[in-house]
C-alpha cells in the first residue's frame, strides 16, 4: 500500500527519511506507520502537511460545481445574454426609425421605455412562476415569447406593430433574468457566488452595453429589421437546445396567483414611468405627468400593503420579507442607481454622437465597443476580488468612477476630442462593472433559500423600474432644456447639446447617492432559521429523489 505517495513495506522496518532511505541501513524502503527517536517530530510534521494538502484538495473538489450544474447555468447564461441584448439594441437605431417610420423623438423613445416597462410589470410574476412551474417549462415559455416577439418585430410594417412586438420580446426577457439568478443561488455555494455572479454580469450588464455597437454595425449595411432577423436564429437555437438539455431544479409548488397584485403592480409601475415620460410637455403636460406619478405611487403603496397581507397566507406575488435584510435593501438601492446611469448613458450618448457630432451609426457603435468589452472582461475578475476581499474594495472606486465620468460627459460639446469620449465611456463601464457584480452578490447572499426566487424578482423589477424611470426622466430633462434654449434663440444643434449636457449633469448629481451607499455594502451570509432549514432539507431530499432522472 502507499501513504502520501511513499511505499510502505512493513511495520517492523526502520523508519525512512524524507527521501525514502532507511535511516539505519541506507536502503530505500518507504515511510513506516510509526516513528520513534529524533526523527519522530519530522515525520509527524510531514504527515500533517500531507493531510492538510489532501484536505485542501478535497475541499476544492467539493466546491467545484458538478458538470450538470455547470451545463444548466451555461444554457441559461447564453439565453439570457441573447434576450437582454435586445433591451438596448434599439438605442442607436432610434434616429433611423424616426425617419423610416415618420415619428418624433418622444414616440420612438417608447420602443425602449415600453420594453423596460413590460419587464417591470412581468418580473414580479416570475417569483410565482419559478415556484409553481418546472424549470424547463419556464425556460420554454420565456424563450418562446422572446422568439415570437423577435419574429413579429422583423416583419413589422410600421410603428403600430413594432411596439407590441417589443412588448412580447420583453415578456420573455423578463422571465429569463430571475430564472438565471434563482438557479445560481440554488446550485452555487455562497463562497463561490462572487465568481459566478461575475460571469453572470456578462449577460446582465455587458449585453445592454454592447447592444448599441451591434445595432450600429447592422444599420451601416442593412435595414433596421435585420437587427431582429439576425437574432432570431440564435434565439431559436437556444430554445431548441435548452428544451432538450435543460433539467428541472427543485420541486414545483402549489402557490396561487393573486390577480389583484398583478393589476396593482401593472398600474403602479406603468403609471410611474408614463408620468415621468410626460414631464416637460408644457404646463398641461406637467400636470398630467404629476397626476400619473401620484397615481402610480398610490398603487405601489397598495401593492406593498397587499403583499404584506398575503404573506400570512403564504402566497404573495412578491415576498417583501426580503427587505428585512439590510444588505439586500442597500444593495438594491445601489443597483437601481447604477441601472439609471447605464440606461441613461445608452440613450443620451448615441444621441449626442449622431446628432451633435454627426457621427454615423457604425462609427457610434465602434466607439462604444471598447467600453462594453472592458465591462465583460472586468466582471469575472470583480467576482474573484469579491470572494477574496469583500465588496467595498470594488463598490467605492466604482461609484466614484461613475460620478466622475457622468460629470465629465456633462461638459461634452461639439469640440470634445473623440479619444476623450471613448476613454470616458470605458471608465464609466469599468465603474459599473465594479458595482454590478458585488452589488448583485451582496444583495442575494443574505437571503434564506425560501426567498431566492422572490429576491431575484424584486431585484429585477426595481432594476427595470429604475432603468425605465431614469431613461424617461433624463430624456424629459433633455427635451425641456432643449426647448428652452431653442426659444432663447439657439440653433437646433447647440440647443440639443445643451439639453444633453443638462441631462448628464442631473445623472451625475443622482450618482452621488451611489457613492454614499457604496461605503455601506458588505458581504453577509444567510441565516439558517427554522424555515430555512426546512427548505434546505426539502430541497436536498428532492434532489436525491430526482437524481436518477436527470435526462427528462
Domains of the chain, residue spans: 1-38, 67-257+317-525
| Confidence band of 64 (pLDDT split at 50, 70, 90) | low
- Check residues 210 and 392 and name the one with the higher pLDDT: 392
Question: What does the pLDDT read at residue 290?
Answer: 85
For 22, phi then psi, to 5°, come to: -65, 130
For residue 322, what are the contacts with CB-CB under 8 A and spacing of at least 6? 328, 447, 451, 454, 455, 458
Among the listed residues 249, 261, 263, the one whose alpha carbon sits nearest the alpha carbon of residue 307: 261
Question: What does the pLDDT read at residue 253?
Answer: 60
Q: Which range among 20-29, 113-122, 246-255 shows the weakest confidence by mean pLDDT?
A: 20-29
- Which residues partner with 16 through β-bridges? 22
Cell numbers for 69, please give them: 450544474
Question: What does the pLDDT read at residue 34?
Answer: 46
The dotted CATH code for 67-257+317-525 is 1.20.1250.20
**Residue 91 near residue 215, CB atoms below 8 Å:** yes
**Residue 531 near residue 319, CB atoms below 8 Å:** no
- Check residues 259 and 15 and name the one with the higher pLDDT: 259
- Check residues 331 and 542 and name the one with the higher pLDDT: 331
With a cut of 60, say whether residue 57 has pLDDT above it.
Answer: no
pLDDT per position as a tens digit, 486-537: 888 888 889 999 999 999 999 999 889 999 999 998 887 666 544 444 444 4
- Check residues 202 and 126 and name the one with the higher pLDDT: 126
Question: What does the pLDDT read at residue 205?
Answer: 64
**Mean pLDDT, rounded, for 286-290:** 80
pLDDT per position as a tens digit, 17-56: 433 444 444 444 344 444 445 445 544 544 544 444 444 4
Asked whether the CA dihedral 323, 324, 328, 333 is positive or negative, the reply is positive
CA R_g for the chain: 28
pLDDT per position as a tens digit, 426-459: 999 899 888 888 888 888 888 888 888 888 888 8
**Mean pLDDT, rounded, for 103-129:** 80
Amino acid at each position: 500500500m502507499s501513504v502520501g505517495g511513499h511505499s510502505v513495506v512493513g511495520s517492523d522496518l526502520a523508519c525512512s527519511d524524507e527521501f525514502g532511505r532507511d535511516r539505519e541501513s541506507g536502503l530505500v524502503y518507504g515511510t513506516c506507520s510509526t516513528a520513534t527517536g529524533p526523527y519522530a517530530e519530522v515525520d509527524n510534521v510531514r504527515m500533517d502537511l500531507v493531510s492538510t494538502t489532501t484536505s485542501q484538495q478535497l475541499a476544492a473538489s467539493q466546491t467545484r460545481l458538478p458538470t450538470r450544474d455547470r451545463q444548466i447555468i451555461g444554457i441559461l447564461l447564453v439565453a439570457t445574454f441573447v434576450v437582454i441584448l435586445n433591451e438596448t439594441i434599439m438605442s442607436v437605431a432610434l434616429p433611423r426609425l424616426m425617419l423610416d417610420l415618420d415619428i418624433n423623438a418622444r414616440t420612438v423613445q417608447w420602443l425602449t421605455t415600453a420594453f423596460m416597462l413590460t419587464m417591470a410589470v412581468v418580473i414580479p410574476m416570475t417569483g410565482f412562476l419559478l415556484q409553481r412551474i418546472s424549470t424547463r417549462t419556464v425556460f420554454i415559455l420565456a424563450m418562446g415569447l422572446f422568439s415570437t416577439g423577435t419574429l413579429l418585430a422583423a416583419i413589422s410594417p410600421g410603428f403600430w406593430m413594432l411596439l407590441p412586438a417589443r412588448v412580447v420580446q420583453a415578456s420573455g426577457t423578463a422571465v429569463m433574468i430571475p430564472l438565471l439568478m434563482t438557479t445560481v443561488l440554488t446550485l452555487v455555494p455562497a463562497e463561490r457566488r462572487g465568481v459566478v455572479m461575475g460571469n453572470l454580469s456578462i449577460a446582465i450588464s455587458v449585453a445592454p452595453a454592447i447592444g448599441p455597437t451591434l445595432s450600429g454595425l447592422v444599420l451601416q449595411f442593412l435595414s433596421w429589421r435585420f437587427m431582429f432577423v439576425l437574432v432570431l436564429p440564435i434565439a431559436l437555437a437556444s430554445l431548441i437546445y435548452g428544451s432538450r438539455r435543460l433539467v428541472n431544479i427543485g420541486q414545483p409548488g402549489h402557490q396561487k396567483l393573486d390577480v389583484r397584485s398583478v393589476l396593482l403592480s401593472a398600474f403602479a409601475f406603468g403609471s410611474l414611468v408614463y408620468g415621468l415620460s410626460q414631464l416637460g410637455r408644457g404646463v398641461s403636460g406637467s400636470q398630467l405627468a404629476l397626476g400619473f406619478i401620484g397615481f402610480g405611487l398610490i398603487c405601489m403603496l397598495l401593492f406593498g400593503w397587499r403583499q404584506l397581507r398575503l404573506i400570512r397566507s403564504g402566497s404573495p406575488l412578491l415576498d417583501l420579507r426580503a427587505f428585512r435584510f439590510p444588505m439586500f435593501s442597500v444593495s438594491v438601492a445601489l443597483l437601481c442607481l447604477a441601472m439609471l446611469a447605464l440606461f441613461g448613458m445608452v440613450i443620451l450618448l448615441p444621441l449626442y454622437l449622431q446628432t451633435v457630432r454627426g457621427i454615423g451609426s457604425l462609427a457610434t457603435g465602434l466607439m462604444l465597443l471598447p467600453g462594453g468589452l472592458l465591462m465583460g472582461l472586468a466582471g469575472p475578475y470583480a467576482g474573484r476580488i469579491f470572494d477574496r476581499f469583500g465588496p467595498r474594495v470594488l463598490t467605492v472606486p466604482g461609484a466614484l468612477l461613475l460620478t466622475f465620468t457622468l460629470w465629465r460627459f456633462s461638459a461634452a460639446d461639439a469640440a470634445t476630442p473623440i479619444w476623450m469620449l471613448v476613454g470616458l465611456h470605458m471608465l464609466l463601464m469599468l465603474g459599473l462593472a465594479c458595482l454590478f457584480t458585488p452589488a448583485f452578490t451582496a444583495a442575494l447572499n443574505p437571503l434564506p433559500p425560501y426567498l431566492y426566487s422572490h429576491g431575484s424578482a424584486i431585484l429585477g423589477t426595481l432594476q427595470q423600474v429604475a432603468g425605465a424611470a431614469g431613461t424617461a426622466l433624463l430624456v424629459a430633462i433633455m427635451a425641456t432644456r432643449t426647448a428652452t434654449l431653442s426659444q432663447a434663440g439657439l440653433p437646433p444643434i447647440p440647443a440639443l447639446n445643451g439639453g444633453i449636457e443638462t441631462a448628464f449633469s442631473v445623472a451625475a448629481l443622482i450618482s452621488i447617492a451611489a457613492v454614499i451607499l457604496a461605503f455601506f455594502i458588505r458581504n453577509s451570509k444567510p441565516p439558517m432559521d427554522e424555515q430555512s432549514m426546512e427548505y434546505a432539507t426539502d430541497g436536498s431530499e428532492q434532489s436525491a429523489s430526482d437524481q436518477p432522472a436527470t435526462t427528462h
